[in-house]
Amino acid sequence: DVKVTQSSRYLVKRTGEKVFLECVQDMDHENMFWYRQDPGLGLRLIYFSYDVKMKEKGDIPEGYSVSREKKERFSLILESASTNQTSMYLCASSLGLAGLRGTDTQYFGPGTRLTVL
């Protein structure tokens, strides 16, 4: 089975801190995604990566950056955390792409609940 792991389940940070959220998948998937999930808003895509060192902005990239130095690892970086970034962050990976290859299930990590004080 595909396993997607995230570095922390719960994280508390202070405003202005630089925050790193790590995600690792073990199935050699090309594509990795970062979402945030907020009540009433569903999942919103922050960034997407389709290959090592390749990234695309999602719907809400402001205040975030990403890094993908190795295929299995995709990091989300909050350059200067703010209280409105308090949220649940979900990482996912997939072999193919939603509307382009048609197969493709996303596999999710357990999530990181980030609180910014």
Partner 1 sequence: SQQGEEDPQALSIQEGENATMNCSYKTSINNLQWYRQNSGRGLVHLILIRSNEREKHSGRLRVTLDTSKKSSSLLITASRAADTASYFCATGPLGTYKYIFGTGTRLKVLA
Residues near partner 1 (CB under 8 A): 4, 31, 33, 35, 40-43, 45, 48, 50, 56, 58, 88, 90, 92, 97-100, 102-111, 113
**CA count, 13 A, side-chain hemisphere, 78:** 26
Torsion-angle region of residue 53: left (phi > 0), alpha (psi -120 to 50) or beta? left
Closest approach, Cβ 34 to partner 1, in A, equals: 13
Q: Residue 10 Cβ, how far from partner 1 at the closest point, in Å? A: 10
Cβ(4)–Cβ(23) under 8 Å?
Answer: yes
42 vs 69, beta carbon nearer partner 1: 42
- Nearest to partner 1 of 77, 97 (CB atom): 97
Looking at the Cβ atoms of 31 and 75, the one nearer to partner 1 is: 31
Structure-token match 């792991």, residue found: 5
Are 66 and 45 contacting, i.e. CB atoms less than 8 angstroms apart?
A: no
Q: How far is the CB of 91 from partner 1 (least distance, A)?
A: 8
User: 106, 94 in Cβ contact below 8 A?
Assistant: yes
- Taking the C-alpha atoms of residue 55 and residue 49, their distance in angstroms, rounded to an integer, is 4
- Give min distance, CB of 80 to partner 1, in A: 27
Kindly tell me which of 51 and 79 has the beta carbon lying closer to partner 1.
Answer: 51
